[in-house]
């Protein structure tokens, strides 16, 4: 059965085959991919070999897939690379990918596909050849090696991190034809032995990626293998030196010896002679040197020196070296450097450094003269200080710091052309820091004493600090006006103030008018001019210019309730020119001196004050700001009945010194200048000057300052001055009694003064108080009497000037009876501008 089956099958297959063969048509044979190549790395091509075509026209198509993707692409280009090829252009060429390529042959009957071919583009690229091939011969132990080095080809787009290059080297002697190839591996250098000396070799190298093809051979490099028998290289003369100007030595540097022991000879000739000599001594100065002793050394002649290197193969001569021994002297460093500390009496100790010239140098005969130089630095320092010493062999050092350690070195050179020697060995210096006991004791005593004094001072300060301060800087007294609350003045309004002051009739009533009689009429214009002049003169101080107004005020100022600044005041600008200056100074403390006069118009007072500005500008004018601060009370008014002229000797007030002391608040001098009340007041008396606190010593002057700012001093400072007497002479005057003793007061009679207090309208001339007369009976013409006494106190310099102003003023001053006895502080405000 089996046999029958098998045979039947065979018959059937035979029949089919026959049929096929007879028909001559079948499916195509399997194609085969021959190879794939990349020519430029950007593209590649694959060629296949078709199988049999089965008698029918066969179509070949190439399919590929990348890496492990499933997508299958078809060949993009069947033509470019020729028949049976597929060309992958740039777009289709991906490096780092593996292409799985198959070729399918198709005909009418069927198709057949080739075996798949895996193509890694990188691998099919032919790499570039290695670059920078360098060759070198080395001779060691009589054997010469050829050392070849190169670099892998530079990579363009392909990174061959995972591909290593393998190299191969080949060489051949120049004359021969056949190359000897040596596999190298992955290294980039190789040493070749077994070379024939004396021949010239050519070397090439190529590389390959582990999966790819070999690159082309690199360009050939040639190298001559040293035969080991060449003449030596040219030696070179380094330098020639003479240490003592009697002998000299020359050194040279040999070149390569060419493989054989080389002999060196030094030949020289002298200037003017033609004979050539050989070095007399090769040994004394060491290898590769020549020593010329005294006999062979001539000065002032130029030597022509050359060195010749000789070996079996030949010789070589160095370049000639010309030398004149005179100019190549370099001595040895100085020796025996010693230090000596000298301590002269009454002077600082100093150090003497001594040394000796080098032993070989013959300085004694004068043949060689040396100059020395030393350098110095503190041990920790970095920079050397170089000192040129000259030909002496000692040096005195004065400027070293005791206790510090220094390093010193010396070197020398011939005095004419030559070079400096080496530095001598380091020498350490240290000046003992000598500490004079005497000095220390003195310092200790001084220290103890001063600390003692300090202690005492601090103690006293602590215990009696206040008193001390008071002693040194006496407080400036404030005004003492009863019934006036300084704070109120500071903060309160005018009404309040006035009420406190118990003013009635503010603005003043028409009483004043009575006082208007016999007032001096002061023209506005004049006044103003005057004012202005004042102003000009003392711009800063003249806020009080407005004081003129006060004049008017004072007269009727009270009537008008003048504010200094008030216009009314302005109208009557009587300038009581005499503004007594000083006086009040002593306001402070007991203020005896204060005469507070109300100044009707502060302005007037100010005006007066103007001239009085004393030294300190300080307070300058009444600053408007200050006005509020003004302590009211300044005005002590005296009710003057008939004020003629009241001269107040302010001097008694004493002024001066006292004031200074008072610091406190500014005691501005308040001078209250009253406005002249024309009626009676002839003179104006200046009210207290404002004491200005500014530490001015000029006493009076300050007072006069109308400008002073806080004219209104503390209430406490203000005080009433009792009118002692009123003299009714041709020079009526009012004597005011000081409440507290203070100075003398001139006595003036004031007619009709029954009351004790008189209101002083103005102060004139510093000495003259113009009081406001209570009874209008008396109107004394204003006259001015300079108070003698006051004069002195008054001023000092400035006041006098001020006086001048005032002097003229009175004539012009209007006297106004000041009806109001009170000064309206608020009036001051405007006055100060």
Partner 1 sequence: CHTSRMATPKGKELAQNLPREELTHLILRLLQAWNEPLSHFNQHMEHHQELSDDSLSKAKQISNMVHELKTGVEKSMGIISNSLNGMASSEAAGLSISNEANLMSDSDFIHCFRRDSNKVQSYLRILKCRIMPENSC
Secondary structure (3-state) at 47: strand
Phi, psi for 528 (deg, rounded to 5)? -65, -35
Q: Which residue has tokens 């050359």?
A: 306
Kindly state the tokens that stand for 557: 């100022």
Secondary structure (3-state) at 85: strand
Site string for partner 1, 133-172 (x = CB under 8 A): ----------------------------------------
Site string for partner 1, 415-444 (x = CB under 8 A): -xx---------------------------
Site string for partner 1, 371-410 (x = CB under 8 A): --------------------xx------------------
Residues 6+ apart with CB under 8 A from 99: 64, 65, 66, 118, 119, 120, 121
Instruction: Check binding of 273 to partner 1 (CB under 8 A).
Output: no
How far apart are CB 355 and partner 1 at their closest, in Å?
14
Region from 7-15, 292-300, 684-692, 789-797 binding partner 1, contact rule CB under 8 A: 292-300
Instruction: Check binding of 617 to partner 1 (CB under 8 A).
Output: no
Q: Which C-beta is closer to partner 1: that of 394 or that of 451?
A: 394
Sheet containing 335-342, strands listed edge to edge, beginning at the edge strand earlier in sequence: 335-342, 350-356, 394-397
Q: Which C-beta is closer to partner 1: that of 244 or that of 642?
A: 244
Site string for partner 1, 4-23 (x = CB under 8 A): --------------------
Q: Which C-beta is closer to partner 1: that of 367 or that of 443?
A: 367
Site string for partner 1, 655-694 (x = CB under 8 A): ----------------------------------------
Of the candidate residues 2, 79, 347, 364, the single one contacting partner 1 (CB under 8 A) = 364
Q: How many CB atoms lie within 10 A of CB 31?
A: 25
Q: Is 775 exposed, middle or buried (0-12, 13-18, 19+ CB in 10 A)?
A: middle
CA 159 to chain centre: 54
Compute how many residues bind partner 1; rule: CB under 8 A.
22
Phi, psi for 458 (deg, rounded to 5)? -65, -40
The C-alpha R_g of the chain, in whole angstroms, comes to 63
Distance linking the first and last C-alpha atoms of the chain: 153
Q: Which C-beta is closer to partner 1: that of 194 or that of 295?
A: 295
Alpha-carbon distance 445 to 451, whole Å?
10
Q: Which C-beta is closer to partner 1: that of 265 or that of 326?
A: 326
Phi, psi for 240 (deg, rounded to 5)? -130, 135
Alpha-carbon distance 632 to 741, whole Å?
23
Give the number of residues written for the chain.
Answer: 833
Q: Which residue has tokens 């503390």?
A: 714
Q: How many CB atoms lie within 10 A of CB 486?
A: 23
Of the candidate residues 118, 299, 356, 443, the single one contacting partner 1 (CB under 8 A) = 299
Q: Which C-beta is closer to partner 1: that of 300 or that of 466?
A: 300
Q: Which C-beta is closer to partner 1: that of 87 or that of 248?
A: 248
Q: At what angle do helices 602-612 and 798-812 cross, to 10 degrees?
A: 140
Instruction: Check binding of 775 to partner 1 (CB under 8 A).
Output: no
Q: Which residue has tokens 């290898």?
A: 287
Instruction: Check binding of 300 to partner 1 (CB under 8 A).
Output: yes
Of the candidate residues 366, 399, 433, 472, the single one contacting partner 1 (CB under 8 A) = 366
Alpha-carbon distance 470 to 524, whole Å?
47
Alpha-carbon distance 211 to 328, whole Å?
71
The DSSP output letter for 58 is -
How far apart are CB 131 and partner 1 at their closest, in Å?
54
Instruction: Check binding of 369 to partner 1 (CB under 8 A).
Output: yes
Alpha-carbon distance 514 to 555, whole Å?
10
* Residues forming a β-bridge with 736: 723
Of the candidate residues 97, 301, 354, 533, the single one contacting partner 1 (CB under 8 A) = 301
Residue pair 204/292 in contact by the 8 Å Cβ criterion: no
- Report the site for partner 1 in 545-574 (rule: CB under 8 A): none
Q: Which C-beta is closer to partner 1: that of 347 or that of 364?
A: 364
Of the candidate residues 162, 367, 435, 443, the single one contacting partner 1 (CB under 8 A) = 367
Of the candidate residues 41, 245, 685, 693, the single one contacting partner 1 (CB under 8 A) = 245
Region from 53-61, 291-299, 742-750, 807-815 binding partner 1, contact rule CB under 8 A: 291-299
Instruction: Check binding of 363 to partner 1 (CB under 8 A).
Output: yes
Instruction: Check binding of 297 to partner 1 (CB under 8 A).
Output: yes
Q: Which C-beta is closer to partner 1: that of 23 or that of 392?
A: 392
How far apart are CB 370 and partner 1 at their closest, in Å?
10
Instruction: Check binding of 80 to partner 1 (CB under 8 A).
Output: no
How far apart are CB 323 and partner 1 at their closest, in Å?
13
Alpha-carbon distance 493 to 107, whole Å?
129
Applying CB under 8 A, which residues contact partner 1? 245-246, 272, 294, 297-301, 324, 326, 362-367, 369, 391-392, 416-417
């Amino acid at each position: 059965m089996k046999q029958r089956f098998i045979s039947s099958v065979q018959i059937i297959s035979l029949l089919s085959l026959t049929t096929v063969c007879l028909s001559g048509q079948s499916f195509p044979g399997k194609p085969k991919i021959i190879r794939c190549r990349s020519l430029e790395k950007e593209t590649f091509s694959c060629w296949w070999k078709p199988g049999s075509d089965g008698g029918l026209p066969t179509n070949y198509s190439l399919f590929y897939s990348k890496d492990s993707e499933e997508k299958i692409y078809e060949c993009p280009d069947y033509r470019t690379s020729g028949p049976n090829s597929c060309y992958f252009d740039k777009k289709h060429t991906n490096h780092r990918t593996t292409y799985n390529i198959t070729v399918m042959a198709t005909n009418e009957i069927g198709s057949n596909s080739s075996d798949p071919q895996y193509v890694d583009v990188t691998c099919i690229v032919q790499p570039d050849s290695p670059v920078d091939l360098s060759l070198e011969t080395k001779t060691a132990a009589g054997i010469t090696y050829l050392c070849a080095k190169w670099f892998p080809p530079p990579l363009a787009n392909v990174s061959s991190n995972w591909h290593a290059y393998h190299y191969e080297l080949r060489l051949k002697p120049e004359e021969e034809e056949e190359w000897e190839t040596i596999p190298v591996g992955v290294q980039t250098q190789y040493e070749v032995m077994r070379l024939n000396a004396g021949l010239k070799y050519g070397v090439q190298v190529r590389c390959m990626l582990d999966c790819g093809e070999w690159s082309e051979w690199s360009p050939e490099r040639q190298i001559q293998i040293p035969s080991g028998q060449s003449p030596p290289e040219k030696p070179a003369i380094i330098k020639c030196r003479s240490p003592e100007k009697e002998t000299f030595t020359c050194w040279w540097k040999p070149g390569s010896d060419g493989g054989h022991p080389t002999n060196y000879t030094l030949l020289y000739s002298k200037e003017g002679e033609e004979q050539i000599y050989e070095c007399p001594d090769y040994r004394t100065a060491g290898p590769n040197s020549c020593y010329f002793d005294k006999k062979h050394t001539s000065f002032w002649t130029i030597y022509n020196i050359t060195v010749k290197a000789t070996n079996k193969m030949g010789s070589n001569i160095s370049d000639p070296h010309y030398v004149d021994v005179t100019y190549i002297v370099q001595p040895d460093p100085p020796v025996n450097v010693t230090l000596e500390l000298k301590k002269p009496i009454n002077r600082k100790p100093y150090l003497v450094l001594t040394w000796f010239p080098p032993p070989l140098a013959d300085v004694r005969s004068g043949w060689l003269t040396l100059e020395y130089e030393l350098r110095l630095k503190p041990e920790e320092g970095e920079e050397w200080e170089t000192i040129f010493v000259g030909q002496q062999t000692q040096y005195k050092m004065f400027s070293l710091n005791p206790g510090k350690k220094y390093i010193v070195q010396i070197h020398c050179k011939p005095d004419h052309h030559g070079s400096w020697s080496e530095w001598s060995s380091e020498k350490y210096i240290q000046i003992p820091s000598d500490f004079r006991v005497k000095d220390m004791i003195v310092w200790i005593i001084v220290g103890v004493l001063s600390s003692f004094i300090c202690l005492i001072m601090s103690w006293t300060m602590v215990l009696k600090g206040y008193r001390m301060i008071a002693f040194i800087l006496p407080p400036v007294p404030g005004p003492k006006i009863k019934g006036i609350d300084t704070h109120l003045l500071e903060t309160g309004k005018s009404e309040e103030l006035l009420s406190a002051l118990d003013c009635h009739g503010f603005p003043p009533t028409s009483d004043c008018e009575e006082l208007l009689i016999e007032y001096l009429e002061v023209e506005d214009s004049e006044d103003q001019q005057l004012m202005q002049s004042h102003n000009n003169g003392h711009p800063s101080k003249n806020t009080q210019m407005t004081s003129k107004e006060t004049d008017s005020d004072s007269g009727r100022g009270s009537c008008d309730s003048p504010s200094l600044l008030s216009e009314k005041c302005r109208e009557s600008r009587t300038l009581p020119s005499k503004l007594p200056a000083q006086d009040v100074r002593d306001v402070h403390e007991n203020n005896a001196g204060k005469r507070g006069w109300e100044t009707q118009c502060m302005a007037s007072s100010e005006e007066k004050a103007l001239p009085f500005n004393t030294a300190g500008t300080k307070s300058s004018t009444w600053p408007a700001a200050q006005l509020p601060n003004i302590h009211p009370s300044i005005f002590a008014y005296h009710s003057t009945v008939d004020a003629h002229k009241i001269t107040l000797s302010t001097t008694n007030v004493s002024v001066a010194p006292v004031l200074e002391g008072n610091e406190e608040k500014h005691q501005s001098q308040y001078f209250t200048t009253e406005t002249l009340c024309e009626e009676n007041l002839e003179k104006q008396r200046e009210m207290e000057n404002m004491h200005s606190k500014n530490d001015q010593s000029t006493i009076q002057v300050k007072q006069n300052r109308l400008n002073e700012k806080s004219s209104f001093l503390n209430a406490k400072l203000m005080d009433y001055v009792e009118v002692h007497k009123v003299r009714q002479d041709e020079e009526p005057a009012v004597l005011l009694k000081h409440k507290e003793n203070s100075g003398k007061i001139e006595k003036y009679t004031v007619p009709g003064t029954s009351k004790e207090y008189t209101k002083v309208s103005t102060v004139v001339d510093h000495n003259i108080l113009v009081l406001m007369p209570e009874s209008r009976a008396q109107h004394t013409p204003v006259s001015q009497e300079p108070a003698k006494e006051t004069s002195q106190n008054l001023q000092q310099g400035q006041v006098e000037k001020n006086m001048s102003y005032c002097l003229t003023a009175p004539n012009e001053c209007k006297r106004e009876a000041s009806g109001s006895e009170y000064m309206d502080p608020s009036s001051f405000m405007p006055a100060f501008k």
